[in-house]
Amino acid sequence: MPAPFLPLTRPTIDDETIAGVAEVLRSGWITSGPKVKELEAKLSAHCGGRPVRVFNSGTCTMEIALRIAGVGPGHEVITTPLSWVATSNVILEVGARPVFVDIDPVTRNIDLDRVEAAITPATRAIIPVDLAGLPVDRDRLHAIARHHKLRVIEDAAQSLGSNWRGRTIGTTGDFVSFSFHPNKNITTIEGGALVLNDEAEAKLAEQYRLQGVVRTGFDGMEVEVVGGKFNLTDVAARVGLGQLPHLAAFNARRTELARAYFERIDAAPELHGLGLPPRDFSQTNWHMFQVVLPGDRLAVPRAAVMERMHAAGIGTGVHYPPIHLFAVYRRLGWKPGDLPIAERVGRDILTLPLFPAMTPADVARVVENLAAILQAHRQP
């Protein structure tokens, strides 16, 4: 009997959380309400007491941070080309121009050595991304921002529970945006959170979250800014409340599985030359385990490797194609060759399954199949 299909990722949601969702549904209050406030309070505690507001995605959080920072038409925002396209789409959404900076070949995060050369009089902010949960150097990042008087919107969608030199991501810095999409380390099904600097910013975030509305008394209503419909439901918040207490355990399990991947890959001669992530077992939450295929030594493209892995009952993913080569961004003037490191990594990067319910046997199965496929298709 063949082994069951191993997906790229799968959330772990316990029975207590499922029962809690049923209670919310029975309560009659299923949109934003007491569970949203409770989740915000617990996330604030996780972030050292900073104000936190939750939203229906980890995309609108970045857009709202840009709006609070006053970023708009005529401005530029520096970011990485190796991320989910939402990271740069929000810059376009507020009318600004994304300026991509190539990545560091080791960390695959934005190369901070290249950031200052990209700053112009129009630059207003930097959006770094913690790819796969590996934190960008927060000390250098914020030193650059302070020197040039720039705002920072940390795209920490993938790094909840990670830390920089012992400081939990979200406890320091400027704006910090988290995602609770089902593929993240904890989920609210769909959702996100924004860590802010003070209560004034938090109030403005609440306005942007729900059509710009400010209510007073029983019947007072005013609209001061143009907001959207970005509120999180109590149903989703209840899922998050059930997930958050397991964050440390989930991340510890991910770390164990990442160690198992390294051990298996190191022991497989067929995989020597495979590009591996940094072996960071103290700061990253191991949101993903990504390898870079030796594309120039393979007789088949990455898609064929993924197809063969799928045929073996194993899901894989691509995180991410370089953003600047999408048509929307080519129309802004970006072209192949502009960011060679991101382009090379983006062409050959492959995400392997990693989620808490996996076992070491699952890791062994992934590595054995990948090794066999690469060995079978190496260039002579």
Residue 2: its pLDDT value, please? 78
Q: Number of helices (H) and strands (E), helices first, in the chain?
A: 13, 13
Give the per-residue pLDDT at 3.
Answer: 87
Show the low-confidence residues of the chain (pLDDT under 50).
Answer: none
Digit-coded pLDDT (tens) for 225-263: 999 999 999 999 999 999 999 999 999 999 999 999 999
| Total of domains in the chain | 2
Distance separating alpha carbons of residues 251 and 256, to the nearest angstrom: 9
User: Do 124 and 22 have their domain in common?
Assistant: yes
113 and 147 share a domain? yes
Residue at 236 is within a domain:
yes
Mean model confidence pLDDT for the chain: 97
pLDDT at 350: 98
Q: What's the DSSP call for residue 274?
A: -
Spatial separation of the C-alpha atoms in residues 205 and 244, rounded to whole Å: 22
Q: Are residues 240 and 253 in the same domain?
A: no
Q: Which domain holds residue 103?
A: 15-244
Same domain, 240 and 259: no
Distances from the Cα of 211 to the Cαs of 34, 191, 206, 367, in angstroms? 20, 18, 9, 49
Residue 152's closest CA among 171, 178, 175? 175
**132 and 28 in one domain?**
yes
Q: What CATH number is given to the structural domain containing 359?
A: 3.90.1150.10
Q: Of the listed 184, 203, 229, 335, which one is catalytic? A: 184
Q: Is 320 helix (H, G, I), strand (E, B) or coil?
A: coil
How many of the other CB atoms lie within 10 Å of CB of 203? 13
Q: Are residues 153 and 278 in the same domain?
A: no
Tens of pLDDT, residues 140-159: 999 999 999 999 999 999 99
Q: How many CA atoms lie within 13 A of 85 on its CB side?
A: 13
Q: Is residue 305 part of a domain?
A: yes
192 contacts 54 by C-beta, under 8 angstroms:
yes
Active site residue 184: yes
CA distance 254 to 288: 9
Residues 198 and 129 placed together within one structural domain of the fold: yes
Q: Which of 244, 275, 299 is the C-terminal boundary of a domain?
A: 244
Shared-domain flag, residues 240 and 295: no
Q: CATH code at 193?
A: 3.40.640.10
